[in-house]
Structure 1
């Protein structure tokens, strides 16, 4: 298992964070931005990336326009003019690289912005429908076994809802648990699902609405997996089971893999004889900085439970002190002081706005983008919240979020199938494909191109086509072409296309708050029904093979009639 895991993460994964100067713009304004490309394996800037693509999408997820930025040493910067043709509404900036296309998991960064035109912005209508989910810690709810049950309550727009009170009753109408939810609609409670009993939950909302939900039936066999933080340095993991499972798994060894981005620690676990419970206190030194995925395997090497936990230790290693020095007419003098003297160099971006502005409502931060979102499948309502003014309360709230997330976004079925193929390379510049129009070109002709820095070079011509490979064109650059034949110079008619990585025309993941994950998504990648398999078989999800039609230059050629393009 560990070898397959290490092979799956052998190719380094990168994340991009886009820092925009604000989040609400009026048409004809400019989005000023700086981007950070991060190597999650090395926890350093990703130096190999030289080209980052930023696409602008509307609220329906449809692409409006693509922009391309040159990155150096893991950073890029620039600006985008807000087109006057855009109607008022919500838009999304998607930042990605060609290298990211090697992986099934989408590591692109989605930044939501609001654009205002002459027409007012449509207000989001209030929705009274509720989505209520009950999610057992680790993914397993077992008969007769003490369990921690997570609760997730959202409205029709996908935002968390705080309830007045929730209660759980068995079919004898006896109350077995009470719970509440946070501002993000998350809560939890402990209870023991008894054999043969059914359970319902009643939730009371602030609008007087009362909802009744039937809890899922517990499994007859399996292992419940729990994690609790003891203090800043230690945490405890617990495995609990019932008699039915113990008879089958007696004397079997379990393994816990603590992992993240190709880093892993393997810890053996076993139930003591005649015991349905095992616990182990672990020092947080076994954890990685930030996110950690704890996967429990049975003796056959099959993953049977998973839990995400977060390690805040050493996360904020470089601290800044920002202070206002003086206000001089229309200028503000600000001092930025680096408090950590061991760190020699930092790369910063600063946005300065009026203190009472309503144009900045950023929900992401560089911490949430690099340390939290790459490992979670579902939508996070306000990722930035968990990394500002850290308190014990916020740490507990983040742990509650992770508990109700279930399995991480990395599907073990994919890991067992083998590592991703390296089909896509790091782009080193952009290819420019050119065409000469309106004239015959002989084999004796030569095409000379002159660059903005006064360099010149000859280009090969084939069927009136030529290529300028791996070039970094900048906005406003002028390329001058000269056609040379028998010592005569001619100015040719030239058309040029930029050849970039194929970019999506529509967003296809959970990019919009209104997309609510289904309850079955919580534990979709590993089904626990086959805890003990007689033939040691791993049941894989159903696979659908689809064909992706190759897009060719024919579709974009204006000189070919529509009826011939097929």
Structure 2
């Protein structure tokens, strides 16, 4: 059962103070069940902090991804696979990669290489799980690329006859003979709002009914009491030209409109009907549902004696962030919707102090967050740019991407504006924006279907599925596999489906997985099987939304004649050419030269297996037993030649892969081995081999004497992108306009606080004043998004 309010009203302008009691109407129970079934499935949202928004060809695009649980805004514990793609203006994918998410955070880079030319690109990030839902839980934002060698300036002149003026009733429709609030958006052909436009609403008698003005984003509103039989037009005056447009809204003779006003800590929700409608809906039940995808409240209302009903909510009792007010009729069909934003309860942290200390060559920043709990996991990323930069024109920050964009349908210009130094003016402007947004991103047709169909799974690494063919005894052999030099692991056949399943693999770049079957008769044999990988490709994000494109007049003024690629120089890797050495063939000399070559940068004794060794000792284990005694490597039982697990204290490596079970060496012929390193003290292997190790290296080509291979390698069709170092360009000049406007100073990722709540990082000492752009999260759902100008004098 869900609680609700069901009250009548005895005055013309009545106020409902919320009270709660049970109801048992089957229709409302069906509504509640559909709603809870639809929303009980966890959702994720993702945000990318980019190091800037305008890039010069040759630079790196640095990004840190924050993947959050949509319900509580804490780091997601479900997904470790994140897809990041860059598309051009034709929606063609230019770059894409799979990155690994740990504790809700992932960092990586894209190189702005020859794949790019001057223009606007969209960078998007999403998880596989997000593809189950129609809401915009993924990340999408435009970036600008400039090729200094081919920076053809495109004309951005606007067609002055073509503006997009829309007049959007707060409740979704105009109702005859009552006061309606109408939102206004006036945009240029590129989708940007036209600021400071003036408007007059004119009736069919050429009388001015009301006026309005737009803000810097081309948004405004006005009140209108429309009459059926009258027509309305709007005269618009911009800084460059005058226009006239139709109101373009049907006036309905009957209906109910929904409106909302905020006053201090109260929210007033009004339902208004007209006299033509009142007698037909008198005493009928209507329901207000106040919800946000996590919690909800139902209020039953009735028009009894009056045409206006107003409910009063305490702002502090509503959910932090977006709240959706939906009006449903007696059949529980949604007929109107209005969004409002509650800033109370959003956990946004501000830095308490920012201190710097300088040396001759570097600057150390100490940013303290007084109200952050340092015992919780946290992560921050910081972009450091010249203070006069024109290359950081981000539309979003982590607050707008988390609390606003996933809940609205339309494209918002500069959503981060409403969450940067928020004040009463910006709260009013945000509410004005929400009037123009109409219905939320939650589709009621989907909600009434109940729990969504889940066709896409949470992904945690790569899953491998391999077919298992029974051996001659009718049983399945064990499967041994290895990747990333992390040691061999054992997989058993799943008795339910007769497949080998290997979960949670994180191969990077060109990693292969090596597989062997452990057979009773022949020991280790290459595992020749039909192998499948999940995922094997990057799934496609089907999105109908479009981001605002960059406009040169709004974002940058870069003239090719002023700047060329010689303004910054990217260092090339040093190449070293080796001299050719010719040696007279001699088995003994060849062995010594080979041993000398393989001993370079090694701390143990390297021995090369030759033909004499192969003739004297057939099996690898016999050779190792003999050499261990001569090398005096300490074992748990020096008289025991067994390779049983736990019998030796030393570590064994096969082709640099640590063997968790050294008994697999028992099936290998010495003829397949090229060299062996014996290291008594484990020097060079860190803490893994305090008692020494043996490293065995196989021949690259199969032995002509024994045609025996023990593993078969399979390539992953899709791998994770390895962490790459962010490249900071080197510039010829650090005082010219090019560097001040478009230069990069540094990009720091995966920063955490110390026990005092202080984030510390060091950069090379800059030659100009800097701005820092810091964003991040903590495990209690706290968010950080700050832009700070720093004087280093």
Task: Give aligned pairs, total.
Answer: 506
After TM superposition, the structure 1 = structure 2 runs for residues 373-388 of structure 1, keeping only pairs within 5 Å, are 373-388=405-420
1:276 aligns with 2:276: no
Q: Take 1:390 and 1:445, find their aligned partners in 2: how far apart are those partners? A: 65
Deviates more, 1:93-102 or 1:122-131: 122-131
Q: Structure 1 residue 369: deviation in Å?
A: 0.5
- The aligned residue for residue 535 of structure 2 is 500
Q: Structure 1 residue 236: deviation in Å?
A: 0.8
- The aligned residue for residue 237 of structure 2 is 204
Contact kept? 1:156, 1:514, Cα under 8 Å: no
Q: Structure 1 residue 505: deviation in Å?
A: 5.2
- The aligned residue for residue 473 of structure 1 is 507
1:512 aligns with 2:547: yes
Residue by residue over 1:103-134, the C-alpha shift from the partner in whole angstroms, topping out at 9 and shown as x without a partner, is 23342111322223331164451222201111
* Match of residue 431, structure 1, among 457, 460, 463: 463
Pick closer, same or farther for the CA change 1:57–1:268 going to 2, 3 Å: same
Q: Take 2:362 and 2:484, find their aligned partners in 1: how far apart are those partners? A: 35
- The aligned residue for residue 143 of structure 1 is 176
TM-score, length-normalised on structure 1?
0.82
After TM superposition, the structure 1 = structure 2 runs for residues 63-78 of structure 1, keeping only pairs within 5 Å, are 63-78=93-108
Q: Structure 1 residue 413: deviation in Å?
A: 1.7
Greater relative contact order structure (CA < 8 Å, 6+ sep): 2
Pick closer, same or farther for the CA change 1:509–1:487 going to 2, 3 Å: same
Contact kept? 2:173, 2:249, Cα under 8 Å: no
Q: Take 1:467 and 1:115, find their aligned partners in 2: how far apart are those partners? A: 43
Q: Take 1:488 and 1:254, find their aligned partners in 2: how far apart are those partners? A: 75
* Match of residue 152, structure 1, among 185, 188, 191: 185
* Match of residue 314, structure 1, among 340, 345, 350: 345
- The aligned residue for residue 371 of structure 1 is 403
Q: Structure 1 residue 294: deviation in Å?
A: 0.6
Q: Take 1:161 and 1:422, find their aligned partners in 2: how far apart are those partners? A: 42
1:411 aligns with 2:411: no
- The aligned residue for residue 336 of structure 1 is 367
Give the greater-gyration-radius structure (CA): 2
Partner-residue secondary structure (3-state), 1:45: coil
1:14 aligns with 2:44: yes
Q: Take 2:249 and 2:331, find their aligned partners in 1: how far apart are those partners? A: 27
Contact kept? 1:95, 1:110, Cα under 8 Å: yes
Contact kept? 1:98, 1:501, Cα under 8 Å: no
Q: Take 1:320 and 1:172, find their aligned partners in 2: how far apart are those partners? A: 58
Q: Take 1:291 and 1:416, find their aligned partners in 2: how far apart are those partners? A: 21
Q: Structure 1 residue 447: deviation in Å?
A: 7.4
Q: Take 1:48 and 1:384, find their aligned partners in 2: how far apart are those partners? A: 27
- The aligned residue for residue 450 of structure 1 is 482
Q: Structure 1 residue 91: deviation in Å?
A: 1.6
Q: Take 2:66 and 2:143, find their aligned partners in 1: how far apart are those partners? A: 18
- The aligned residue for residue 546 of structure 1 is none
Q: Take 1:355 and 1:387, find their aligned partners in 2: how far apart are those partners? A: 21
Partner-residue secondary structure (3-state), 1:361: coil
Partner-residue secondary structure (3-state), 1:368: helix
Q: Structure 1 residue 432: deviation in Å?
A: 5.2
1:326 aligns with 2:357: yes
Q: Structure 2: which 5+ runs fail to align?
A: 1-30, 494-498, 551-716, 718-793
Q: Take 2:62 and 2:325, find their aligned partners in 1: how far apart are those partners? A: 39
Partner-residue secondary structure (3-state), 1:370: helix
Deviates more, 1:287-296 or 1:409-418: 409-418
- The aligned residue for residue 131 of structure 2 is 101
- The aligned residue for residue 33 of structure 2 is 3
Q: Structure 1 residue 301: deviation in Å?
A: 1.2
Pick closer, same or farther for the CA change 1:448–1:413 going to 2, 3 Å: closer
Contact kept? 1:62, 1:505, Cα under 8 Å: no
1:116 aligns with 2:146: yes
Pick closer, same or farther for the CA change 1:284–1:343 going to 2, 3 Å: farther
Q: Structure 1: which 5+ runs fail to align?
A: 436-441, 516-555, 557-566
Q: Take 1:344 and 1:450, find their aligned partners in 2: how far apart are those partners? A: 36
Q: Structure 1 residue 479: deviation in Å?
A: 4.8
- The aligned residue for residue 61 of structure 2 is 31
Partner-residue secondary structure (3-state), 1:320: coil
CA RMSD for the aligned pairs? 3.0
Q: Take 2:529 and 2:315, find their aligned partners in 1: how far apart are those partners? A: 63
Partner-residue secondary structure (3-state), 2:251: coil
Q: Take 2:314 and 2:125, find their aligned partners in 1: how far apart are those partners? A: 37
Q: Take 1:496 and 1:354, find their aligned partners in 2: how far apart are those partners? A: 51
- The aligned residue for residue 525 of structure 1 is none
1:246 aligns with 2:272: no
Q: Take 2:478 and 2:331, find their aligned partners in 1: how far apart are those partners? A: 67
Q: Structure 1 residue 406: deviation in Å?
A: 0.7
TM-score, length-normalised on structure 2?
0.59
Q: Take 1:102 and 1:382, find their aligned partners in 2: how far apart are those partners? A: 28
Residue by residue over 1:256-298, the C-alpha shift from the partner in whole angstroms, topping out at 9 and shown as x without a partner, is 111002310112323341x211212211133110111110112
Residue by residue over 1:242-269, the C-alpha shift from the partner in whole angstroms, topping out at 9 and shown as x without a partner, is 1111011011222211100231011232
Residue by residue over 1:194-248, the C-alpha shift from the partner in whole angstroms, topping out at 9 and shown as x without a partner, is 23211111111211232232442211111111100110x1111111111111011
Pick closer, same or farther for the CA change 1:425–1:208 going to 2, 3 Å: closer
Contact kept? 1:163, 1:203, Cα under 8 Å: no
Pick closer, same or farther for the CA change 1:44–1:200 going to 2, 3 Å: same
Partner-residue secondary structure (3-state), 2:175: coil
Contact kept? 2:165, 2:245, Cα under 8 Å: no
Pick closer, same or farther for the CA change 1:143–1:501 going to 2, 3 Å: farther
